[in-house]
Structure 1
């Protein structure tokens, strides 16, 4: 993969190569991005999670559009303009502060605490659970995919809004991706276990108790991600530049370049 990234970067000497890393929650996106950054020259990393809207902004969305938008994660809960401005600054070769979000407080960290990307960065590693995702056809939105949609989005307002965000603002952000890498989970059924492992890791790290979700809370939380994750697993393997097929233990079974 390093060789593929380096070769692609040579073809874009005028600006940083943007490598999109997509994968379901708990699939190892952040770990992969960190390891790649260590081996690549002048690499910067940005997570889609760090572009979340502030808590106050999501509260306004919950009031004005749909209550489910209070929960961070789904398309529509990120600051796309912030992401585009970061990429534009990197394109200019500037030294730019990279946004960071604090999941413990469910809010964006103060800008004074943001790390700095290197000047004249050669590669931007952009990772996130729905990085590069495409919208579904309208017909696919009719039937709910889980209890959350069936009980809390009965009229489909939330899922139509999410889909419209993918078709609109998110498209501009994802079109900046030069090389798309997919960490392909074996199926949606493993995501709950992977996300639960993340909460256990938080617990052992000494994070405050109110920042750690119970098993039931994890189940509800990932329901916000299910529809788009299933869609990604169905359609992205045919168009991603690199597909890493994972087993239930996150072992890489194969690396393909479709």
Structure 2
């Protein structure tokens, strides 16, 4: 069974109760890299129109902005992905406009060049949108307790963040800036991979697809680079797996082939 089905059931029930003129329903779709969020979001958007999709990945700060963060705060912030590397005001403004029913441009980030796509290429949300799907690897996440940041969780943190300065910056950003970004979510669905090694395998499959589409651009990574890249996400991903299931509207455990283990 596809994890799309229980999500579609919940969304359909909520949309059936939506009155004309009400703001769109906001579905938060959270899941680790490669778990199928984009595919599920596209299918749901086609199923429940008029709909719009906003990906947290499309809200990344520009490459130049992240280079400045790397110089001013910590070198690891040059890598896109963790809280603190997103343009939160851009996300807030986009979501607010969609909620007002405006045909606002939806940001897009080009991972092949590791930078924001030109504004003229951004699609627009439909006017009077009924469903906004906000998807991303840490959508709806909450910050960790300070004491949980003491020890490194992997080789990357031990070697490149031994004093915890990077992970504390990430956690502070998540605690202070991101709650407003997630506040509009009406239904939160969490996709749960079977384990951490599966995340790397799925992310590797994504990278191969990127190469087939774009070739070997600046943002395309080899196996060693991918392993290091996903290590940036391991801490918060594991925290999400522990913390979010108790409060998500839907928690959907996935098998290795991304099928639903149980409803």
TM-score range normalised by the length of the shorter chain: over 0.9
Structure 2 match to 1:3: 9
Give the superposition deviation at 1:203. Answer: 2.7
* Runs of 5+ consecutive residues of structure 2 not aligned to the other structure: 1-6
Give the aligned length.
Answer: 255
**Cα distance 1:74–1:6, how it changes in 2: closer, same or farther (>3 A)?**
same
CA distance in 2, matches of 1:157, 1:12: 45
Is the 1:96–1:116 Cα contact (8 Å) retained in structure 2? yes
Give the superposition deviation at 1:201. Answer: 1.7
Structure 2 match to 1:88: 96
* Runs of 5+ consecutive residues of structure 1 not aligned to the other structure: none
Give the superposition deviation at 1:211. Answer: 3.8
Q: Which moved more, 1:73-82 or 1:88-97?
A: 88-97
Structure 2 match to 1:53: 61
Q: Pick 1 or 2: higher relative contact order, CA cutoff 8 A, min separation 6.
A: 2
Structure 1 residue 247 corresponds to structure 2 residue 262: no
Structure 2 match to 1:116: 124
1:98-247, aligned counterparts within 5 Å? 98-208=106-216, 210-247=218-255
Give every structure 1 segment of 4 or more consecutive aligned residues whose post-TM-superposition deviation is greater than 3 Å: 9-13
**Cα distance 1:209–1:112, how it changes in 2: closer, same or farther (>3 A)?**
closer
CA distance in 2, matches of 1:12, 1:156: 46
Is the 1:185–1:233 Cα contact (8 Å) retained in structure 2? no
TM-score, scaled relative to structure 1: 0.95
- 1:62 aligns with one of 70, 84, 89: 70
Superposed CA RMSD: 1.3
CA distance in 1, matches of 2:220, 2:181: 31
Is the 1:52–1:78 Cα contact (8 Å) retained in structure 2? yes
SS at match of 1:173: helix
**What does the per-residue CA deviation read over 1:176-221, in whole Å, with 9 as the maximum and x for residues that have no partner?**
1110011111121211111111112223335235442111110000
Is the 2:113–2:218 Cα contact (8 Å) retained in structure 1? no
CA distance in 2, matches of 1:211, 1:62: 17
